């Protein structure tokens, strides 16, 4: 097989959902965030496995993702759209039975004119200044909107990955001020917010990255393995260079393995000359630049050359790789391209 293999452990994914669910008490529901094609891992199998684990409410970024998710899940689970009700989306929101989180007065008007009586939620901005209604907008419409029975009022934390950041408590206080006494179910916490403790949990949590094995959920089980086939190996003499720009030079006699996969597969070019592949638990450094479809790796020290080398595996998780690229696990996962052979493991596969 000449393409890289992305293996997704659906049992680990389900176990991570259950573990995050156990971090909140019985009165708090745990949803699942599956935007961006299930953080790059394939929304259909991912969402079905999470539904199997017990998730009844899902979040996506935009209506198109919601429609695709509805096709994968069928009727029943609630699908919430974080981007709300955008112009042109009315038919899709109605047809796929999506629940938009309304972010502005424009969206509220569009919803109530286009889909009267259809379920909706409200998103408030509590300081991140990204999405949701500000306090004054909310004050202007709350009396009109609350009797129409929103499914949920939500907001999002800007700094929840750092428990010591004073922004967390500040946003929590703002959220209380905007929503106390409304009687509507509330949601503030994503993965980081769940770990901040019970005062952040409210009625519903919305974990994403923790499900997929990423920080800040340190206890997560790894979900992804990325394995690249070796196409060719060659011996390189001392002083010879490897790859575009000749950025790596052999110090002694070296063996270079050329792997099938590159930045077109989401293996970031920033990993050039920095990241390591794994042969089991033996690290093998990238030698030279990552090119579009190929990567060269120094395997001089291996007793024998395996058929494949792993870039994400038990010995090197998504966040380890992210550190080497100077980015975050979220970007590593969602960059993974579509050229892989995706292999789903576990009872939900």
Shortest Å, Cβ 26 to ligand PLP:
21
Shortest Å, Cβ 45 to ligand PLP:
18
Active site residue 212: no
Q: Are 40 and 333 in contact (CB under 8 A)?
A: yes
Q: Which one, 65 or 310, has the nearer CB to ligand PLP?
A: 65
Please identify which residue in the block is written with the tokens 């009872």.
347
Q: Which one, 4 or 82, has the nearer CB to ligand PLP?
A: 82
Burial of 126 (0-12, 13-18, 19+ CB in 10 A): buried
Q: Which one, 192 or 306, has the nearer CB to ligand PLP?
A: 192
Give the dihedral of Cα atoms 176, 30, 97, 336; nearest 10 deg.
110
Which residue(s) pair with 153 in the sheet? 122, 186
Shortest Å, Cβ 259 to ligand PLP:
29
* Residue 329 in contact with ligand PLP, rule: CB under 6 A: no
DSSP H helical ranges for the chain: 10-22, 35-39, 43-53, 63-73, 90-95, 105-114, 135-145, 166-179, 191-196, 318-325, 329-335
Residue number with the shortest CB distance to ligand PLP?
A: 208
Q: Which one, 155 or 300, has the nearer CB to ligand PLP?
A: 155
What DSSP string describes 42-77? -HHHHHHHHHHHT--EEEESSHHHHHHHHHHH-SSS
Q: Which one, 65 or 298, has the nearer CB to ligand PLP?
A: 65
Q: Are 100 and 93 in contact (CB under 8 A)?
A: yes
Shortest Å, Cβ 46 to ligand PLP:
13
Q: How far is CA 133 from CA 50, 121, 166, 312, in A?
A: 30, 12, 22, 39
Active site residue 340: no
Q: Which of residues 172-231 bind ligand PLP (CB under 6 A)?
A: 190-192, 206-210
| 29-107-59 Cα angle (round to 5) | 25
Closest CA to 346 of 25, 5, 14: 14
Of the residues 35, 212, 330, 340, which is catalytic?
35
Q: Which one, 208 or 261, has the nearer CB to ligand PLP?
A: 208
* Residue from the set 6, 32, 33, 297 that interacts with ligand PLP by CB under 6 A: 33
Give the dihedral of Cα atoms 218, 221, 223, 225; nearest 10 deg.
90
Which residue(s) pair with 123 in the sheet? 154
Shortest Å, Cβ 115 to ligand PLP:
22
Of the residues 39, 200, 212, 244, which is catalytic?
244
Shortest Å, Cβ 247 to ligand PLP:
34
- Applying CB under 6 A, the site for ligand PLP has a residue count of 12
Number of neighbouring beta carbons within 10 Å of residue 139: 11
* Residue from the set 23, 67, 81, 82 that interacts with ligand PLP by CB under 6 A: 82
Q: Which one, 193 or 266, has the nearer CB to ligand PLP?
A: 193
Shortest Å, Cβ 316 to ligand PLP:
21
What number of residues does the chain have? Answer: 349
* Residue from the set 156, 215, 225, 289 that interacts with ligand PLP by CB under 6 A: 156
Query: How far is it, in rounded angstroms, from Cα 329 to Cα 332?
Result: 5
By CB under 6 A, name the binding residues for ligand PLP.
Answer: 33, 35, 82, 156, 190-192, 206-210
Q: Which residues form the catalytic set?
A: 35, 244
């Amino acid at each position: 097989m000449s393409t890289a293999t992305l293996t997704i452990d659906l049992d680990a994914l389900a176990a991570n959902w259950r573990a995050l669910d156990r971090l909140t008490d019985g009165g708090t529901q745990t949803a699942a965030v599956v935007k961006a094609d299930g953080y790059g891992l394939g929304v259909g199998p991912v969402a079905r496995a999470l539904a199997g684990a017990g998730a009844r409410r899902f979040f996506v970024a935009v209506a198109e993702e919601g429609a695709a998710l509805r096709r994968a899940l069928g009727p029943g689970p609630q699908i919430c759209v974080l981007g709300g009700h955008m112009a042109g989306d009315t038919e899709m929101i109605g047809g796929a039975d999506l629940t938009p989180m309304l972010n502005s007065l424009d969206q509220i008007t569009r919803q109530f004119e286009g889909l009267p009586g259809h379920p909706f939620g409200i998103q408030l901005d509590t300081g991140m200044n990204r999405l949701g209604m500000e306090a004054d907008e909310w004050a202007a419409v709350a009396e009109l909107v609350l009797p129409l029975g929103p499914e949920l009022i939500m907001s999002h934390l800007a700094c929840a990955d750092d428990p010591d950041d004073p922004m967390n408590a500040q946003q929590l206080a703002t959220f209380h001020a905007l929503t106390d006494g409304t009687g509507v179910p509330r949601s503030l916490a994503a993965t980081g917010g769940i770990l901040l403790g019970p005062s952040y949990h409210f009625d519903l949590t919305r974990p994403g990255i923790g499900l997929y094995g990423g920080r800040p959920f340190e206890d997560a089980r790894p979900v992804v393995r990325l394995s690249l086939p070796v196409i060719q190996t060659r011996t390189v003499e001392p002083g010879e260079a490897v790859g575009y720009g000749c950025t790596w030079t052999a110090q002694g006699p070296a063996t270079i393995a050329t792997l099938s996969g590159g930045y077109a597969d989401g293996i970031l070019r920033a990993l050039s000359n920095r990241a390591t592949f794994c042969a089991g638990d033996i690290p093998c450094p990238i030698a030279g630049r990552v090119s579009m479809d190929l990567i060269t790796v120094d395997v001089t020290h291996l007793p024998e050359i395996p058929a494949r080398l792993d870039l994400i595996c038990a010995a090197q998780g998504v966040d380890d790789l992210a550190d080497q690229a100077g980015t975050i696990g979220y970007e590593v996962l969602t960059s993974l391209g579509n050229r892989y052979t995706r292999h789903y493991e576990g009872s939900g596969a």
